[in-house]
Amino acid sequence: MNLMQFRVTNFRSITDSGWIDVSDVTALIGENEAGKTNLLLPLWKFNPTAAGEISLLDDMPRSRYAEMRNEPESHQFIYCKFELDESDIEIANNYGIEAKAGATIIARRNFAGQYGFEFPGFPNVEFADTFNPALEQPAETEEPNKGPSLWYRFNKRLPHFVYYSNYGNLDDQIYLPHVVDNMERDDLGAREAAKTRTLKVLFDLVSLSAEEMLELARSTGVVERVNQQGQKVGNVTSKTDDEIKEDDKQLRERLALLQSASSKLTRSFSDWWKQGNYRFRLVADGNYFRILVADDRRPEEIELENRSAGLQWFLSFFLVFTYESEDAHEEAIVLLDEPGHSLHPLAQRDLTAFFNNLAKTNQLIFTTHSPFMIDADRLDRVRKVFVGEDGSTEASSDLGVTRGPKGLKDKGATYAVHSALNLTVAESLLLGCQPIIVEGPSDQHYLTAIKSILIGKKKIAPKFELVFPPSGGAKTAKIIASILSGRDDDLPKVLLDSDVAGKQAIKSLQGDLYSEDKDKIIETDDVFSDLKGTEIEDLLPTGLMIQVLDRMERRAGQEFEDVHDPRKPIVPQIKNWAEREGFAMEPGWKVKLALGVKDKLLANTSRYVEDDDIKRWRELFDKLL
pLDDT of residue 327: 54
Q: Which of 144-153, 502-511, 609-618 has the lowest mean pLDDT?
A: 144-153
Nearest to 78 by CA among 114, 130, 119: 114
> What integer is the mean pLDDT of 366-381?
80
The distance from CA 125 to its chain's CA centroid, rounded to whole angstroms, is: 42
**Of 319, 357, 321, 315, whose CA–CA distance to 336 is shortest?**
321
Q: How confident is the model at residue 167 (pLDDT cuts 50, 70, 90)?
A: low
Between residues 202 and 142, which one has the greater pLDDT? 202
Q: What sections of 219-308 are H helices per DSSP?
A: 241-270
Specify the higher pLDDT residue, 569 or 156: 569
Q: In sequence order, what are the residues at sequence separation of 6 or more whose Cβ sits closer than 8 angstroms to the Cβ of residue 285?
A: 217
Does residue 145 register a pLDDT over 50?
no
| Beta strand pairing call for 25-29 and 382-387 | parallel
Residue 137's pLDDT band (boundaries 50, 70, 90)?
very low
For the chain, the farthest-separated pair of C-alpha atoms sits apart, in whole angstroms, at 118
Q: Is the pLDDT of residue 256 over 80?
A: yes
Q: Report residue 77's pLDDT band, with 50, 70 and 90 as the boundaries.
A: very high
Give the amino acid at 78.
Answer: I
Supply φ then ψ for residue 595, to 5 degrees. Answer: -65, -40
| Per-residue pLDDT tens over the stretch 6-51 | 999 999 999 999 999 999 999 998 888 888 999 999 999 999 877 7
User: In the chain, what are the domain boundaries?
Assistant: 2-24+52-159, 167-223+238-323, 431-624
Chain centroid to Cα 500, Å, comes to: 41
3-state DSSP call for residue 563? coil
Mean pLDDT, residues 590-614 taken together: 90
Give pLDDT tens digits for 461-481.
988 888 888 877 656 777 677
Cβ atoms within 10 A of the Cβ of 140, count?
A: 8
The CA distance from 5 to 28, in Å, is: 13
What does the DSSP 8-state code read for residue 169? P
Does residue 452 carry a pLDDT above 80? yes
Q: What percent of the chain has pLDDT over 90?
A: 23
Strand-by-strand arrangement of the 465-467 sheet: 465-467, 433-437, 493-496, 521-523
pTM of the shown model: 0.60
Q: What is the pLDDT of residue 587?
A: 80
Q: How much is the pLDDT for 588?
A: 83
- DSSP-assigned letters across all residues of 372-418: GGS-GGGGGGEEEEEE-TTSSEEEES--S--EETTEESSHHHHHHHH
Q: Give the CB-side neighbour count of residue 259, counting CA atoms within 13 A.
A: 6
What digits encode the pLDDT tens for the residues 101-112? 778 888 999 999
Alpha-carbon distance 223 to 252, whole Å?
17
Size (the chain), residues: 625
419, pLDDT greater than 70? no
d(Cα 247, Cα 596) in Å, to the nearest integer?
A: 85
Which among 135, 136, 15 has a CA at the least distance from the CA of 68? 15
Contact 167, 301 (CB under 8 A): no
Dihedral sign of CA atoms 541, 546, 551, 552 in order: positive
Band (pLDDT 50/70/90 cuts) for residue 80 is very high
Decide if 441 contacts 469 (C-beta within 8 A). Answer: no
Rounded mean pLDDT, 545-555 = 85
Q: Which of 234-243, 395-404, 611-620 has the highest mean pLDDT?
A: 611-620
DSSP string, 193-242: HHHHHHHHHHHHHTT--HHHHHHHHH---PEEEE-TTS-EEEEES---HH
Let me know: does 368 contact 391? Beta carbons within 8 Å.
no
Beta strand pairing call for 76-83 and 14-16: unpaired
Res 451: pLDDT: 92
Query: With the C-alpha atoms ordered 481, 482, 487, 490, is the resulting torsion angle positive or negative?
Result: positive
pLDDT at 387: 86
Burial of residue 476 (number of CB atoms within 10 Å: 0-12, 13-18, 19+): middle
Q: Which residue has the higher pLDDT, 369 or 538?
A: 538
Q: How far apart are CA 350 and CA 149, in angstroms?
A: 46
CA nearest to 438, candidates 507, 519, 536: 536
Mean pLDDT of the chain: 80
The yes-or-no verdict on residue 488 having pLDDT over 60 is no
Among 182-196, 321-335, 582-596, the range of highest mean pLDDT: 582-596
Q: What is the pLDDT confidence band of residue 272, given thresholds at 50, 70 and 90?
A: low
Query: What count of Cα atoms within 13 Å lies in the side-chain half-sphere of residue 505?
Result: 26
Structure-model confidence comparison of residues 407 and 496, the more confident one: 496
Q: How many helices (H) and strands (E) does the chain have?
A: 21, 25
pLDDT over 60 (residue 553):
yes
Asked whether residue 485 carries a pLDDT value surpassing 50, the answer given is: yes
Rounded mean pLDDT of 431-452? 86
- The yes-or-no verdict on residue 222 having pLDDT over 70 is no
- pLDDT for 376: 64
* Distance between CA atoms of residues 358 and 350, nearest Å: 13
pLDDT of 599 > 60? The answer is yes
Pairwise CA distance, residues 396 & 383, whole Å: 5
For the cut 80, the answer to whether the pLDDT of residue 432 exceeds it is no
Question: Which amino acid, 68?
Answer: M
Q: Residue 466's closest CA among 437, 425, 506, 423? A: 437
Residue 40: per-residue pLDDT:
95
Q: What is the DSSP string of 480-546?
A: HHHHHHTTTS-PPEEEE-SSHHHHHHHHHHHTTTTTT-GGGEEEGGGG-SS-SS--GGGGS-HHHHH
Whether 453 shows a pLDDT value over 80: the answer reads yes
* Percent of the chain topping pLDDT 70: 79
Residues 6+ apart with CB under 8 A from 258: 216, 281, 282, 283, 284
Q: Specify the pLDDT at position 85.
A: 84
Task: HSE, CB side, 13 Å, CA atoms: give it for residue 75.
Answer: 23
